Amino acid sequence: MGLPRHLPPGDSGAGHGPFGDKAFKGALIGCVLLLFVGPVMVLLGGDAARSVGASLLVLGVLGLVIGGAGLLAERVLQRRPPPPPDVRSRNGRRG
């Protein structure tokens, strides 16, 4: 039995969830790619490829809807990402 893993800090400092802005944009690009690949598989594939293409379409739409809902929630709740670590202060003084 070993020591528990050290988890990364829950705050990425960039908004858009625990992975940061770069990963968020990458996930959105991945969802858009699924929306391009899915119809091609549905139109040109056999029965199995049509099923997989339809699944890719659903996953792409679901990912974009969830990402959009998260961005909308941030805007409605007026959530702002925290300032970068070099700007944050410790005990009222600059770090």
* Highest mean predicted confidence (pLDDT) among 2-11, 12-21, 44-53, 76-85: 44-53
- Label the pairing between strands 89-90 and 93-94: antiparallel
Establish if 46 belongs to a structural domain: yes
Alpha-carbon distance of 49 to 51, in angstroms, equals 5
Residue 27 domain flag? yes
Angstrom distances, CA of residue 19 to CA of 25, 59, 78: 10, 20, 20
Q: Domain limits at 42?
A: 21-80
Task: Note whether residue 15 is domain-resident.
Answer: no
Residue 60, SS3 per DSSP? helix
Count of the separate structural domains present in the chain? 1
Mean pLDDT of 75-88: 72
Query: Is there a contact between 45 and 38 (Cβ–Cβ < 8 Å)?
Result: no
Q: Is residue 37 part of a domain?
A: yes
71 occurs within a structural domain? yes
Residue 63 domain-assigned (yes or no): yes
Q: How confident is the model at residue 64 (pLDDT cuts 50, 70, 90)?
A: very high
93 inside domain? no
* 92 in a structural domain: no
Q: Which pLDDT value is given to residue 25?
A: 87
φ, ψ for residue 94 (rounded to 5)? -70, 140
